[in-house]
Amino acid sequence: MPAQDEGFDRLVEPFRTELLAYCYRMLGSAHDAEDLVQDTFVRAWRARERYDVARSSLRTWLYRIATNVCLTALQARGRRPLPSGLVAAADPLGPLVRGENAAWLQPLPDAMLDAGDPAGTVIDRSTLRLAFAAALQHLSARQRGALILRDVLAFSAAETADILGASVASVNSSLQRARTRLAEAGDGREAVSEPSQAEQRAWVERYMRAFERADVEGLKRLLTEDVLMEMPPVLNWFVGRENYGLFMNWVFEQAGTDCHLEPVSANGQPGFAAYRRLGEGYELHTLQIFTVTAEGISRNSVFQEPEVFATFGLASELDGDRRAR
């Protein structure tokens, strides 16, 4: 590689992590976000001779390229909701219905960001929460871009207009509509400002111990009264501690009580991967990500898609000693 190309790579590489978070907020898919950041860097390298430092900073220029890549992708892929943003709540003991043709919002492993931001100083993790990511899916592509660039990343109106290739007036209009729509949908940020990360993990560790004992009453004591559970790609979702308990009783009756749990974290939230007994070993069953408030666990987002499992690098099976095989 020529020396000047190596120099270009060194200049743009520090922006990889925040661009990954940006593309995830825009698309709602960790896999898509990785691909789009790579596409952004390829396009930036090809256009490097045309970059004008007098017109914009390198960061703004890269965001302009990333935004164009995201907007093009969104034309073909559309939005990625969670079931609670798509259909009405269901009976917790009703038949499970799969949304076969839906592209669902997916969690973003914290490990994908930690490598480039080990101190957690670059990325505002509260703007990656699943509830906020799901709320963004209610916005049009340009509204989403305007709101993220202005309210999350703190670009000026002029910079945002430059990035979006629009006028300042158009950006301000899109931003106002986005804020109104987001307020109606509820953006999920204010409820998770407390407790601390350590306290959230402690709540989930207590949940894990109760889960391993199949102690449904113990699980219920850790939940808020209005707890929400959803399980993409299953359309069913429900609200309430009692409904949650009814469903978990059914789960343990159907899937058994011999399980193994591995802690994970995604979107700045604690969770775990659940393996259930299969023959002499264990098979990967679900990935569960929790929203924790000072009053308890208020939301459990349960994922069962192979693409999500692969993004987290989870072994599909464990042997009897609970080692990957």
Distance of alpha carbon 179 from alpha carbon 218, whole angstroms: 39
> Percent of the chain, pLDDT > 70?
93
What is the signed CA dihedral for 210, 294, 196, 212, rounded to 10 degrees? 10
Q: Kindly tell me if the per-residue pLDDT of 126 is higher than 80.
A: yes
The pLDDT of residue 2 = 42
- How far is residue 78's CA from residue 71's CA, in Å, rounded to a whole number? 10
Which positions ≥6 away from 313 have C-beta within 8 Å? Answer: 109
3-state class percentages of the chain: helix first, strand second, coil last, to nearest 5: 50, 20, 30
pLDDT of 119 higher than 80: no
Q: How many angstroms separate the CA atoms of 191 and 294, rounded?
A: 9
Contacts made by residues 317-321, CB under 8 angstroms, sequence distance 24+: 317/278, 317/281, 317/282, 317/283, 317/284, 318/260, 318/275, 318/281, 318/282, 319/280, 319/281, 319/282, 320/280, 320/281
The model's pLDDT over 74-111, given as tens digits with 9 standing for 90+, comes to: 998 888 999 998 899 999 999 999 987 889 999 999 99
Q: What is the pLDDT of residue 117?
A: 65
Domains and CATH numbers, the chain: 3-78+118-191 (1.20.140.160), 194-318 (3.10.450.50)
Confidence of residue 321 (pLDDT cuts 50, 70, 90): confident
Amino acid identity of residue 161, one-letter, is: A
More confident residue, 277 or 115: 277
User: Which pLDDT score, from 0 to 100, does residue 46 have?
Assistant: 94
